[in-house]
A = this chain, B = another copy of it.
Amino acid sequence: MANISKKVTWSGRDDEEEQQKRLQEPGEGTPLLNGSTSGPESRHGRQFPHANFFRIGQLSTVNLDDDIQELEAEKSPPSPKEIPHNEKLLSLKYESLDYDNSENLLFLEEERRINRTGFRTVEVSRWIICGLIGILTGLVACFIDIVVENLAGLKYHIVKENIDKFTENGGLSFSLLLWASWNSAFVMVGSLLVAFGEPIAAGSGIPQIKCFLNGVKIPHVVRLKTLVVKVCGVILSVAGGLAVGKEGPMIHSGSVIAAGISQGRSTSLKKDFKIFEYFRRDTEKRDFVSAGAAAGVSAAFGAPVGGVLFSLEEGASFWNQLLTWRIFFASMISTFTLNFVLSFYKNKPGDLSNPGLINFGRFDTKENGYNIYEIFIFICMGAIGGILGAVFNAANYWLTIFRIRYIHRRYLQVIEAMLVAAVTATIAFIMIYYSNDCQPLQENSIEYPLQLFCADGQYNSMASTFFTTPERSVRSLFHDPAGSFDPQTLGLFTLVYFILACWTYGLTVSAGVFIPSLLIGAAWGRLFGILLQLASNGANWADPGKYALLGAAAQLGGIVRMTLSLTVIIVEATGNVTYGFPVMLVLMTAKIVGDCFIEGLYDIHIKLQSVPFLHWEAPVTSHSLISREVMSAPVTCIKRREKVGVIVDFLSDTSSNHNGFPVVENNSDTTQPPRLCGLILRSQLIVLLKHKVFVERENMSLTQRRLKLKDFRDAYPRFPPIQSIHVSQDERECLMDMTEFMNPTPYTVPQDASLPRLFKLFRALGLRHLVVVDGHNRVVGLVTRKDLARYRIGREGLEELYLAQT
């Protein structure tokens, strides 16, 4: 069952011998015949054969039928059990986005026809779309906020009454049962929606959006259905009391909204508004999705600048001033919309004090400055955050591996989610029950104060962290006056919530990890502050609220490993810049310390999904590789005028899984490889075949209907598979002329360019295919995203990932 191509690892030092060795080794991959793929002959006719499909020994427990079904069922939503279980894999199922325009004759003709006024209209439409993205993202955020508040309010109200009733009479186990059932019921509905509706909507969606902005086409990720499932899912999981936040999913929601609006139609609803047709291509869509992601962050945290930076830090490679301004505009509109609508909902119309879903509350700067000697304390906190973050990530990594192996059936996933919900309620209940930390009740500070066994006029302090939404807990940890929390309560809470949050992330529910991370950090940060205060005999500077904020930053930084954008997000969410420097220090330290142990949480999940993710730079020691070694070869080339039959045949051949084909001159001398004259995409060929743009004889020009760019745009983005196109035997003998449709000026590299050089070109321009040519401009190979993403720095130096069809 198992078949793995040989893993080749070498370090910078002895690369020459290694390379020699590699050249001598014959390919070891013996491909496996599989139900749906016809003879997956290795497409790499060189020293590294990549098996098209394989399975690792460990996983032989997985049912084979299941896997074949998955490979066949392209239209059904991908189920999360597809995630491979080995991080040394790169999946071949992900395609790239075409960030580089195919500048064929049709495109150039259109561009030349548009005059300056036309371009101005296009530019204005871009701004309008960004405005709409902002407004809709803000509205979706409002909707989530209001529904969550009401649902959770209802739940806490009922449970509180019940608890109050049974506290005196005894029989609190009924209350626990009630609470746990409420939670499980909410979570069950949410989990069912996700598992059976749209599995891609699970989790926070940030890894998926990161991949999309990186240029990877993740199936279903920006569909309307995903948005609906995501929004309902996140409401239900937050209302269900899980240790999750509603902020992360906003980023995904914003992205879907952006992708939808910018296209001026919905493929799912089969509704075409006939507007924004100019933007129906990957380049424009990806730009708008960056704006959507930024608008999402902005609505979630009230952080428009943070949103822009998030989009840039996580996604963009090419910085464009105009695009950035548009992104900024979308972000601003989004937080403004949220603020405006919530001001009406809260009966204070015009009062713009709710810029985001989470509000950290104002930190009063006059009291809470910081001193120079506190900087060392901050660095320590950063280090603690980094270590705790690494522990969190490692635990979640092993948990995810476990889930992939054993919990890959949908009903199991739903059951696990319900279990977590019930356990969360139970643990919370037990902790509240056995807690002796009673605090005097102050006005308005606690929304659902549980008296339990406390004296009258007092409330249970543990309940103020557990018996409310996580957002409120964060705020009370930041702002409640010194002495509101007992150190023991905080310590216990940190431990328990850490375990719960770690267990929860990766469940089949829509939920984010930002708020739980902040909450864990705020709890131990406050504890740290209290201890400092004790150690320094109640010094003035050791304000627990400040340390709670920095602890929250440290923990979040240790888990997600963002720096610049996270600094700005936290600064914007706190509403003042005094703590900018400490927050930055803490985040930097957390990142540096955390990176010594394990990667960031999102990167772990991206890796576990085997996404061909391109990092910012090529691995440092990869100068020893040249394009000839990296590229895929031999590559299927098409002649400028090719027989329809030939094209249909190789498009149907699943072993040639590229999506772009170099077009070459019709060559009389067959001993030499043919000369490059263009590049055509699989999708373009399919549209050509569908519209039957054929000529009958060699020297006949096109007489049938002339294709326009519109035909390509109408087919975008869901091009039909080749199997759905029927070509008669007569038509197979016709010719197809690519001249008008191919990109006549594809980017090329010489065959001895180094990998970092290729990488830079590929990354900076967001390419999908890069043709490798020899000194005579003859095609010798093709470099795609997978060929570059395959190399990375491992423990023993540069290592190469396996490619797999999984």
Contact = CB atoms under 8 A, between A and B. Distances in A.
A368 interface: no
A395 interface: no
Contact of A576 (B352, B575, B777, B793): B575
Interface string A558-591: 0000011001100110011110110011001000
B580 A304 contact: yes
Nearest to A364: B366
A793 B319 contact: no
Interface in A648-694: 665, 675-677
Nearest to A350: B372
B616 A320 contact: yes
B572 A112 contact: no
Contact of A313 (B324, B575, B753): B324
Interface stretch (A34-42, A419-427, A617-625, A732-740): A617-625
Given A13-B115, A322-B616, A352-B581, 13 more contacts: A12-B114, A103-B757, A304-B580, A304-B584, A308-B564, A328-B564, A328-B584, A332-B585, A335-B581, A340-B372, A350-B373, A677-B775, A761-B765
A318 interface: yes
Nearest to A622: B111
Interface in A80-113: 103, 108, 111-113
Contacts of A118: 12
A325 B675 CA distance: 44
Interface residue tally on A, bucketed by range:
35 or more
A585 B335 CA distance: 13
Most chain B beta-carbon neighbours within 10 Å: one of A749, A753, A777: A777
A370 interface: yes
A764 interface: yes
A484 interface: no
A571 to B, nearest CB: 7
Contact of A577 (B12, B308, B577): B577
A119 B620 contact: yes
A745 interface: yes
A581 B750 contact: no
A762 to B, nearest CB: 11
Interface in A262-319: 304-305, 308-309, 312-313, 316-319
Contacts of A54: none
Contacts of A571: 305, 577
A379 to B, nearest CB: 13
B318 A764 contact: yes
Number of copies: 2
Contact of A329 (B108, B332, B588, B753): B588
23 contacts: A13-B115, A15-B112, A114-B621, A304-B581, A304-B584, A312-B319, A316-B319, A317-B318, A318-B318, A318-B764, A328-B564, A329-B588, A332-B581, A351-B369, A352-B369, A352-B581, A353-B369, A575-B577, A745-B749, A745-B750, A745-B752, A747-B761, A748-B748
Given A336-B581, A370-B352, A328 B675 contact: no
Contact of A115 (B116, B621, B745): B621
Contacts of A676: 775
Contacts of A584: 304, 328, 332
Contact of A305 (B305, B351, B620, B745): B305
Interface of A: 11-13, 15, 103, 108, 111-116, 118-119, 304-305, 308-309, 312-313, 316-322, 324-325, 328-329, 332, 335-336, 340, 343, 349-353, 362, 365, 369-373, 563-564, 567-568, 571-572, 575-578, 580-581, 584-585, 588, 616-617, 620-621, 623-624, 665, 675-677, 744-745, 747-750, 752-754, 757, 760-761, 764-765, 773, 775-777, 793, 797
A792 to B, nearest CB: 12
A796 to B, nearest CB: 10
A745 B362 CA distance: 56
Contact of A617 (B12, B322, B351): B322
A180 to B, nearest CB: 41
Contacts of A370: 352
Contact of A623 (B111, B329, B572): B111
A120 to B, nearest CB: 8
Contacts of A580: 304-305, 572
A521 to B, nearest CB: 21
A750 B754 contact: no
Nearest to A563: B325
Contacts of A349: 372
B581 A116 contact: no
A564 B323 CA distance: 11
A685 to B, nearest CB: 22
Nearest to A758: B745
A350 B321 contact: no
Contacts of A577: 571-572, 575-577
A329 B588 CA distance: 9
B305 A119 contact: no
A317 B318 CA distance: 6
B564 A325 contact: yes
A119 B581 contact: no
A313 B564 CA distance: 16
Contacts of A335: 581
Contacts of A677: 775
Contacts of A336: 581
A621 B112 CA distance: 7
A346 to B, nearest CB: 14
A351 B620 CA distance: 42
A731 to B, nearest CB: 31
A322 B329 CA distance: 26
B115 A12 contact: yes
B304 A313 contact: no
A754 B322 CA distance: 21
Nearest to A115: B12
A305 B568 contact: yes
A318 B320 contact: no
Contacts of A329: 588
Contact of A616 (B114, B321, B563, B761): B321
A11 to B, nearest CB: 7
Nearest to A111: B623
Contacts of A750: 744-745
Nearest to A305: B568
B116 A617 contact: no
Contacts of A747: 761
A793 B116 contact: yes
Nearest to A747: B761
Nearest to A332: B584
Contacts of A575: 365, 576-578
Q: Which 4 A/B pairs are nearest by Cβ-Cβ distance?
A: A111-B623, A745-B753, A12-B115, A119-B620
Contacts of A369: 351-353
Contacts of A572: 577, 580
